[in-house]
Amino acid sequence: MRRTLLALVAAAIGIVTWPTVPVLAQQNTNRTRGTVSALGADSITVKVRDQEMKFSVTPRTVVEAKGAGTKERQAQAAGKPGPKLSEVVKTGEPVEVSYVDAAGGALRATRIRAIASAGEPSEAKPSEMVASGTVKSVAANTLTISGSAGGGATFTQSFTIDPTTKVVAKGAGTAAAAKGGKLAITEAVGAGDRVSVSYHEGGGGLQASEVRVVMKGTVRPKT
């Protein structure tokens, strides 16, 4: 059987993740594009057309920008948790921001991605969702997670994995480079790992667009 390989982030684009605290919940994710007009210690303001949109930045926000990976390694070598947002994103640069509604009507950025041009602002489809939980099983083309939905309720979800699914995991970039730029999901994600999955409905099921490992499992099932 042919193994399904994943498209990983190109080496020229670094991924910085501030220390992550797993959140077992699901939220509608929106997306917009614009130009960075201001940066704060824990916020970013983006000009979208004639409107200024301010987003809070948290330890769970993922930043994708050229050179970010190098700056992250430099920060780690210096004993720091990671680079500051202003060190990898600059005012005047075009970005795409994925975000969710937060308390009090605020907007929280889940991902900030550097792009070539802001172009026309775009919004994600209403069905775009994010789910976080613990991996129950993983195969070449499927991933199943379980977790708590709050109020004592639990959930189990299965996602379809295909060549367009992007995987973010510690060491995945190095491993992928050693194998020609692609890596099977089973080589980066395992049972017991805590993950965050971005997905949408498609083909009669749930299609994973990104799988991000936020904490590696300490116990692996016996084989």
**Has residue 17 been placed in a domain?**
no
pLDDT at position 27: 55
Q: Domain tally for the chain? A: 2
pLDDT at position 151: 59
Asked whether residue 150 falls in the same domain as residue 198, the answer is yes
**Has residue 221 been placed in a domain?**
no
If you search the block for the tokens 């499927």, which residue do you land on? 142
pLDDT at position 54: 92
Domain end marker among 55, 81, 114: 114
Cα–Cα distances in angstroms (integers) from residue 129 to residues 25, 38, 49, 85, 88, in the given order: 10, 28, 25, 25, 26
Residues 6+ apart with CB under 8 A from 53: 32, 34, 45, 46, 47, 97, 107
pLDDT at position 142: 94
**Has residue 119 been placed in a domain?**
no
Helix (H) / strand (E) element for 77: namely helix 68-77
Q: Which domain holds residue 64?
A: 30-114
Q: What is the pTM of this model?
A: 0.47
Task: Find out whether 10 and 173 touch, Cβ atoms under 8 Å.
Answer: no
Asked whether residue 103 falls in the same domain as residue 59, the answer is yes
Q: What is the pLDDT along the chain (223 residues), one digit of tens a residue?
A: 333 333 333 333 344 444 433 333 445 678 888 999 999 989 999 998 878 899 999 888 888 877 766 777 777 777 776 677 888 889 999 999 988 877 777 888 888 888 887 765 554 444 567 888 899 999 989 999 988 765 567 888 899 999 888 888 887 777 777 777 677 899 889 999 999 888 887 777 888 888 999 888 875 544 4
Residues 150 and 215: their CA atoms lie apart, in Å, by 20
Q: In this structure, what CATH number is given to the domain that contains residue 100?
A: 2.40.50.140
**Has residue 196 been placed in a domain?**
yes
Asked whether residue 168 falls in the same domain as residue 143, the answer is yes
